């Protein structure tokens, strides 16, 4: 449990700077990654929110 919590914490920190990286680490190269890249280009905050959602919703 502690390892996954710490890993998610690190992914959130990375998501604050470059959101597609933690999304790729969680779900791989899927539609979620492409959506996150699009949101990141449209605005930094939507990309970060989507990345945090992906991090929180995936085991």
- Residue-by-residue pLDDT tens, the chain, 59 positions: 567 889 999 999 999 999 999 999 999 999 999 999 999 999 999 999 999 999 999 88
Name the 3-class secondary structure at 45: helix
Task: Check residue 1 and give its pLDDT.
Answer: 59
Which letter, b or e, does each residue of 2-34 get, where b requires 16 or more Cβ atoms within 10 Å of its Cβ?
A: eeeeeebeebeebbeeebbebbbbbbeeeebbe
Task: Check residue 59 and give its pLDDT.
Answer: 82
47 close to 39: Cβ distance less than 8 angstroms:
yes
Task: Check residue 47 and give its pLDDT.
Answer: 96
Q: Write down the pTM of the prediction.
A: 0.90
Task: Check residue 58 and give its pLDDT.
Answer: 85
């Amino acid at each position: 449990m502690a390892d996954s919590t710490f890993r998610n914490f690190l992914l959130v920190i990375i998501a604050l700077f470059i959101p597609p990286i933690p999304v790729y680490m969680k779900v791989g190269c899927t539609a979620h990654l492409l959506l996150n890249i699009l949101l990141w280009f449209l605005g930094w905050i939507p990309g970060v929110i989507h990345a945090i959602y992906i991090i929180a919703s995936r085991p």
